Amino acid sequence: MNTENSHIGKEEERLYAIWLSERRNLSLRLRTALAEESISPVELYRMGKAEISGRLGASGRELSSLLDKDLASARETLAKCERQGISLITYADAAYPEKLLNIPDFPLVLFLKGSLPDTETHSVIGVVGTRQATRQGMKLSEDFGRAFAEAGCIVCTGLADGVDSEAARGAIRAGGTVIGVLGTAIDKIFPAHNRELFMRLVSSGGCLVSETGPGLTAGKFMFPRRNRIIAGLSDAVVVTEAPKKSGALITAERAAEYGRDVFAVPAAPGNEAGEGCNALIKDGAGLAVCPGDVLSAIGTMYPERISAKTDKKAPSPKRKKAPEGFPGDETASASEQRARSLLESLSENALKVLSAIERPGMLLDEIIEGCSLSPLEITKELTMLQLKGIVRQEPGKRFSVNI
């Protein structure tokens, strides 16, 4: 930490951060210089013309903006933040998400309502799509949000009407955590009828995020700008339903640029609401027929980040007492003890799916036919069983039990 800033109070740090947030359209080159040289908002505010132009290479409007040291507007915004319980973080803070800092046009300041979850040790899946979603698209989005939350993933979305809101609702209903990235000021609920959703998101441990402070006008340009934050925070982005001209495609494009996995739910031929999804798949996006397709990819990259979240545990299977001298409860081998422990940790639904795999190399359709659960539930449980090492998938959508 810079010794010059060690005597700066928390409130003063926030004041200078808000001042920085009001400097619009700072170049990527300057943003990069600030991050690479660890120049805090306090240090930047205290720089003079020669240092700003020489050290950071600023000139023209950019230089004029940084030489404007008026703090009146920032003080008003800070007072609103304190009244409304709004916090903020900057690129210079340890709490700033590393994956977001690694994108070229990272936001310098983020205003937060709620608690920003740990995006480094938990997988984040962005779910985006059209505002004018069909009934099927709404149901799909809720199902995907729910399944991702049950797998222990954070759902990130823009909270617009349609796909975004339904994905958030699904995750919250499953007891999951949601990051809602706003294209408006942090204190503006848009659309207004989503007030209850916004409140539930925060009260359930999620977080609202915006680049624009309370009471300020964001401007229409901020809606496409917020898409880069969704893409930057996410490990993978899923488009559940989107026409050819949809803002969700901008998010998918940004995600691909940032090296994130992009998935799309295929639409039936002639379904205009999903033509954008089909175009993404044609361009190389992953096929997401069900949430398990996405979770499998995430599990391959970050196996430690996926977990089955279930409140109800299945009862331990009853065992006959083993004959003396045979492996039993007290003398079981390490591998048998591990297998027993795994089985005892499974949910009732997972055990149902496991029981349906009656022989090696069973087709997915055969498992679905022999199990009382829905195809969506079966696919989700199969993914969890694979991540635990209990089941393996073989070519041709065939499954075998490992234990």
What does the pLDDT look like over 137-192, one tens digit per residue? Answer: 999 999 999 999 999 999 999 999 999 999 999 999 999 999 999 999 999 988 88
Q: What is the pLDDT of residue 67?
A: 95
Residue type, 305: R
Question: Omega before 191 cis (within 30°)?
Answer: yes
pLDDT value of residue 385: 83
What pLDDT score was predicted for residue 307? 60
More confident residue, 356 or 127: 127
Mean pLDDT (whole number) for 352-380: 87
Q: Which residue has the higher pLDDT, 345 or 175?
A: 175
Q: What is the pLDDT of residue 82?
A: 94
pLDDT for residue 51: 93
Residue 223: its pLDDT value, please? 67
Tell me the pairing of strands 398-401 and 236-241.
Answer: unpaired
Residue-range domains of the chain with CATH: 3-84 (no CATH), 124-304 (3.40.50.450), 310-401 (1.10.10.10)
Residue 119 has pLDDT above 80, yes or no: yes
Task: Specify the pLDDT at position 314.
Answer: 30
Sequence-distant (≥ 6) Cβ neighbours of residue 144 within 8 angstroms: 127, 167, 170, 238, 240, 265, 288, 291, 294
Work out the pLDDT band at 358, boundaries 50, 70, 90. confident
pLDDT at 106: 93
Q: What is the pLDDT of residue 80?
A: 95
Q: Strand 236-241 vs strand 261-264: parallel, antiparallel, or unpaired? A: parallel
> CA–CA separation, 83 vs 81, rounded Å?
6
Measured distance CA(332)–CA(372) in Å, rounded: 33
The rounded percent of the chain whose pLDDT value lies above 90 is: 56
In the three-class reduction of DSSP (H, G, I as helix; E, B as strand; rest coil), residue 114 is classed as: strand
CB 288 within 8 A of CB 263: yes
In angstroms, rounded to a whole number, what is the distance separating the alpha carbons of residues 86 and 78?
9
Average pLDDT for 20-35:
88
Find tokens 């690479």 and name the residue: 36
pLDDT tens column, 288-336 = 989 988 998 887 666 666 664 433 333 323 333 333 332 333 333 455 5
CA atoms within 13 A on the CB side of 273: 15
Q: Which of 260, 300, 262 is nearest to 282 (CA)?
A: 262
Kindly report, residue by residue over 214-273, the tens digit of the pLDDT.
988 766 656 678 899 999 999 999 999 999 989 899 999 999 999 999 999 999 888 899
**Residue 193 above 80 pLDDT?**
yes
Q: What's the pLDDT band for 25 if we cut at 50, 70, 90?
A: confident
- Residue 5 is predicted with a pLDDT of 46
Average pLDDT over every residue of 354-377:
87
* Averaged pLDDT of the chain: 85
